[in-house]
Each structure stands twice: as C-alpha cells, then as structure tokens.
Structure 1
C-alpha cells in the first residue's frame, strides 16, 4: 500500500512540474503568436536615416524588418535577433526619397507583417515664429553666390513663412566657395527702431542651426539693410539638386531671440539651400542648369517645369531604370497621373544638354 501511494505521489508530482514548466516558459515559441506587431512608427528622420519603432511582444524576441523605396517591387530586409529595444535605425537611405517599412514577428516561422508605414527622408527643423509682426518685418532677402544665379525674395509681413517649396526662391551654393553674399532689407510700420537680423545655413545637414553656421549676425540697429559675406565649408553636406538644407532668417527686437520657438516682435523666413559640387561645369552651364526646376514634388497629376524657353523632349524612368513615359513638354507641364506611386526620374533634353531630376509620384 505504501509503495502504491508513493508511486501515485511521484506521478502527480511529475504532472505538476510539467504544467509549471509550460506556464513559465514565456519565451518558448509555442506561446508567441503570428499577429503583426502594433504601433509601428518612424521617427528621427534625416536625409539618410530613420528610426523604426514598435510595441514589443514579451514572448517574441526576434523580428524581421523590411523596407523599400515606394514603388519598388523588391524588399530590403533585416533580421533582428533577441531585439529588446523595439526599435531599429535604418541607415544609408537615399536623400529626399519616400520609403515604406513593415515589421513582422518571428514565431514558429514567419509571422504577419504590419501595414506599411510611409516616410520621406528629409530634415525636420524646429519651428520658429514671432508673436507680433506688425512692428517690423523682412521685406527682402537676397543671396548672391559666387557661381550660381542670384536669389531675390521680396515679401510682406508675416510671423513665419516657409519658402522652401517655392522653386523661384531656391538658393544654390558651391561647396568650398568664399565671398558669397547675403543681404536682408528691414521694414517697419512706424518709426524705424533698433532690430537685429540673423541668418543660419545648416551646412552639416544635422537639422540644427548651430552657432558655427551663422552666416549673418547684425547688431541691433535701425539701418534699413543688414548684409554679410560668407563661405561654404568644403566638407559641407552635398545635397545634390533635388534635396536641400534650410536657411533660416530672423528679424527680431533682440539679437538674443531664440532660433527655435517664439519671440515677441519680428519675422522668420526659411529657404531651401542646395549645396553642390560642380567642378566639371562652367559658370554659364551651371547657372543655366539651375534654372530648370520641377514642382510640386511629390506630385499627384501634373508636373510643372520652370526655366524652359521652348518645348523640349522628356523621358521618364522608374527607380530601376526602365523608361515608362516620353514625349514633348507642352506649356511647361507634363501629365504624370498615369504613373503608379513611386520614385521616378524625368530627363529633359534642353538644347542638347540633358537634365535628369528625381521626383516622387504620390
């Protein structure tokens, strides 16, 4: 009898230990699910990187992240083993390009991928504006590069204006060039008072207007114009012709007004600056090439092309180099409504010179 009771005790003890093992085995793939990760987001976006984050499943340490330029068929994938952060930073991305990204758990094989999250590689700058622009404002900004065409921006009053999307207010600068000039005209609604003008260019493309990137800094005075000469560092970020860093111009009642945030009296204007390396082009060729611009970008239906004096031939290629459209530019417009969403290049034959410009069909 004692032997039978002991045998029964051992059996029951083994069953209890078995269930205890199951209940505490949280990291075993038997307990994870194949549902798609939730709360997939993309942040810290720069010209060449972005951080993808998601909600971690405590039972699933391994994930697969895949991404690609919008419109491209093939995925690029990354396997994340024992990832406990719930985030991953993509690097080596193409500037000013729209990407889609998805995340999947690795659970008893492959799990379901999350819905695509689309982002565009670009610089995200801090906001800045005045509270009251009815005292003093910026009436004109002129940038005169040593190589490229002059940019003149005349304007009225506002607390903040973003001129970066405006194709007629783009600033082109040559890497390593000196003796570039910036001039800012000040205006008042009443008697001119003492105001300060400052301007920064984000030469290193880190999304921050730092003290070393200050290209104009005037003391507080009532002079109608503030001007300065500036140089472009030879190792500044090379943007190409379809990406831009920002130039921020501020007129304010004090030279200590913040570059980010709000201040009382004045105005803020932002401009797109293209930092180029054009050692193979003459001054005239470079200036002419910079006159050809496309907008809007991204585009839905009609692509406008400025800087053309006559009708020209065009060809459109997709991201893998296949020609998908061609014809003549009519009234400086090209209809792209038939294109699928994705990244494309339009090649314009301008009197024997080929200009190839990237755009995004949304």
Structure 2
C-alpha cells in the first residue's frame, strides 16, 4: 500500500514541479538544483511516459527543442571550431552548450562544469521512447530542427573530453557519456531515414571506441584510464543499450558495483564520493533494481523498491540518504556550504516509478 501511495505521490509531485515552459525542476527545495537538466529531465519524462502521463513528457521534449534551437548559434560555432581545428582544447564552458538551464531556457553560469554531452544524447533517446510509448509520431517533425542540430553537435564533439554525469572529471572521456550519445544517435537512426546510414556508422564507431578504450579486466571503466567503479555504468545496458544486460562485461561490472558500492539495498555513486559525505542514492538503487528485473532477480528488485519507499521524507524522496556514508567527515562541511541535501529530487521519484513499472506495479494513469 505504501508503494502504491508513493507512486501516486511521485506522479503528482513531478506534475506539480513541471514549469509552464515544460521543464522539470530538478529539486524545487534545493537552491542549487532549481534548474532543469536535459539528462535528469529526460529520465523524468521517460518515467512519466511509463505512468501514462504522455502530455507531461511531450511538453518536456518541446522545451528541450526550444532550448536547443534558442542556442543554435552557439552550437554551430562550437561545431565549426571543432571541425576546423580552431578549438585549442582549453575553452569549455564558454564555447560549448551548457548542461543545465533555467526553466525559461537560459544558460546557468556557475562553478560547475557545463560542457557535458550526456544530456544531449539522452534527450534524443527519450524523444524516441516517447514516440514508442505515446504514439505521438508528429513530435519528430515538430522537433526536427533541434534533433538535426543535436546530431550535428554530437557528431562533431562526441570524442572530446567533457564532464561526466555527476559534473566532474571534465578532462576525461567517460563510457557512460559515450553510451548516452550512442543511444541518442541509434534512436534517431530509426526516425531520420535520410541520415540512417550515417547515424548507424557513427553509432558503431562510438560503441567500438567504448569497447576498446572504456574496458579493462573484463569490465567497464568509470572513465578512460580510470579503473574505478561507478554505479552509473549500469546505464550502459539500461537504458542506453550499448550492451545487453547479459553481456559478460556488464555482468562483471554489476558484480563490482555490488561488491564496492552496494550496502544493504542502497547504492553509492563511487567509492571516492565525498558529496554530502557520499551517501546512498535511491535513484541508483532503483537502477540496480531495474537491472535485477531484467536479469530475472525480481525478489531482490522488490527488496530495493521497498527500501526506497521507506526512505521517503515528508517532502518526498531525497537525492541521497545518510545511513551509510563513505566520507562522514565531509557531511557537515557540505551542510555548511550548500544547506541541507536535496529533497525532493524529481529524478529519484522518476526512477522509483521506472522500477515500479518494471515490477508490474505501476498502472498507466497512476
């Protein structure tokens, strides 16, 4: 019963914090997250599609298209700089498209790294998933200018070092980011028939690069040259599909995540995480549960869902919980620096809904 209540509350909360523009606020109660990310938002839209809330998802993708077209001049300048060899490798935030925006589509300045490609690949994947689940084929035509521009941008920039999904390590190349680009390119291959052969070739190049440079000792790497384990590596299989759930590389990667990052039912981001003490992330726990469902371990996935339900606060699901901190000495410093941890985090609610759907608990229209 508690899970059913949280499903309904999650849909209601996401709708409540979707701006008139269509953007999803990452965390309305946390000052530093009162913006919209293409990546987080796409996973939220995906969850809303799975809950039957297709209009909400459509409005988000329309917002993505508006944002990208709004910054077309900047994107074209970045493409030209890279293709012409005029980029010196030093400019980052100034030259490339940002990763987070205001709900009105303006860039957000700040200390965090902004050159980040995963959101641009993810939104393309998400649009395709929206079409599959909602049947709204016409959205591809409406968003064609933004889709074409995003593909041009990713085609030019995919092999450049950029920040990972946690807005860190901007000088490295990350398999998860490449998988996001792969997924977006592969998704659009099905919709843009005139570019299908070009996109198929690009997707294959990206996949081969990851397999050749983003693996070692039979598993995937956090980044090229960095053998650390990161829970976001789950995304290579689900949802990006660069490899299958049963691929030996994925199986061994999940085993490493279980050994190093899983405590009870809570999953940490990576072993060296110090952000708010390095707590457990419900959204990553839901991701592992998603993997377990696809791997036939539904009992374990149900345990994770129950654990997530137990972690909801009065305001909703948090970004992370502090039951098991990797760097407890850092927690108070983050509180002093940035305030209490983010609650609610829409992305946490979204991934809870995805796991509930995978377990057959989420009814369309919840």
What TM-score results when the alignment is normalised by the length of structure 2?
A: 0.26
Which structure features the higher share of helix residues?
Answer: 2
**Structure with the larger RCO, 1 or 2 (CA within 8 Å, 6+ apart):** 2
Q: Which has the larger radius of gyration?
A: 1
